Structure 1
Amino acid sequence: MRVKMSSIHVIDPAAAFDFYTGTLGFEPLMVLPEYNLFIVQAPNIPDGPGLLLEPSDHPVAEAYRTGVYGMGLPAVVLGVDDVQAEMERLSALGVRFTGPPSTDAMGTQAVFDDGCGNYIQLHQD
C-alpha cells in the first residue's frame, strides 16, 4: 500500500498550479482547467503520488484551510536535500518564509507561505 494522491486546499487552483510548477518545480500530472482540476507531482518520480490542488470553495474546506493557516500550521511537508539551499533559491524567487530554518532531533525545517492560502514546511533529515 502507498499514497497515490493527497490534496491541499487552495484559494485558486490555477494560481496554485502556476506556483507549484513554476516556482517549486513540480510537474503537471493532470490539468483540466474547465473542471478547475490541477494535479502536480514531484519531478523525477514518475510513479510518485499526485498532489491535488483542491479548490477551497466548500464552506467546510475553507474553514479547515483558514483554521490551519490562522494557527500558522503547515498544510504539507515537502522533503528536500538541503533546506538552506532551497530556502535561498525560493527566497530569490520572492517566496516569503516565516523565519530562519531551525534544527531539532527531527531534522532541519523552514516554513513558507505559498501565496495560495497555506504554509508549507520544507524538511531535511
Structure 2
Amino acid sequence: MRINITSVMVDDQSKAREFYTEKLGFRIKHDVEVGEGAFWLTLVSPENPGGTELLLEPLGHPAAKTFQQALYGDGIPLTQFAVDDVQAEFDRLSGLGVRFTMEPTTIEGSTLAVFDDTCGNLIQIIEQKA
C-alpha cells in the first residue's frame, strides 16, 4: 500500500493554484473542472514528479471550514513538507512575500518553520537531521 494523493483544503482554488505553483514551486499534474467552478487540481513536487500528489481541495463539506478555521486559530499546521534546508526556504519564500508565523526553529535535531498559505492554512516545513 502506498500514499497516492493527500489533500489540503483551500478556501479558494484559484488563489491556491497560484500560491502553490508560483511561490512554493509545485507543478500541476491534473487540472480538470468537475463542475460549479471546482477542479480536480493536483500538484507534484518537481523533485519527484511521479510521487505523491497534493490535491488542492475546495471546502465543500460544511465541517471542513470549521475544522480549517479551528486549526488555523490554534496555530496548528494542517500538513508538513520536507525541505533540504529550512533557512534557505525561509529566506526564499520570505523574499517572495510569504508570511511566516514561526521562523526557523531547531527542535530535537530537526529545524522547522511555519507559514500561511493564504488559503486558510498554516503549513510547516521541516529539515530533518540525520
TM-score, scaled to structure 2: 0.91
Residue 42 (structure 2) aligned to one of 39, 45, 51: 39
Counterpart CA distance in 2 for 1:46 and 1:26 is 9
The alignment partner of 1:54 has SS state of strand
3-state SS of paired residue (2:15):
helix
| C-alpha RMSD of the superposition | 1.2
Q: Distance in 2 between matches of 1:14 and 1:100?
A: 27
Quick check: 1:86 aligned with 2:102?
Answer: no
Tell me, in whole angstroms, the C-alpha distance in 1 between the residues paired with 2:5 and 2:16: 17
The alignment covers a number of residue pairs equal to: 125
**Structure 1 match to 2:112:** 109
Q: For residue 45 of structure 1, what is the amino acid of its counterpart?
A: N
Deviation readout 1:46-73 (Å, 9 max, x if unpaired): 2211111110132111111111111110
Query: For 1:77-106, what per-residue CA distance to the aligned partner results, in whole angstroms no more than 9, with x for missing partners?
Result: 000000000000000000000132111115
1:14/1:33 contact within 8 Å kept: no
Q: Deviations over 1:24-48 (max 9, x none)?
A: 0000010124642211111131221
Asked if 1:124 is matched to 2:127, the reply is yes
Is there any run of 5+ residues in structure 2 with no aligned partner, and where? Answer: none
**Structure 2: how far apart are the matches of 1:8 and 1:55?**
8
Name the TM-score, length of structure 1 as normaliser. 0.94
Specify which of 38, 47, 66 is matched with residue 69 of structure 2.
66
For structure 1, the residue ranges without an aligned partner over 5 or more in a row are: none
SS for the counterpart of 2:2 is coil
- Secondary structure of the structure 2 residue equivalent to 1:18: helix
Q: Counterpart of 1:6? A: 6
Correspondence for 2:26: 26
The amino acid that maps onto 1:65 is Q
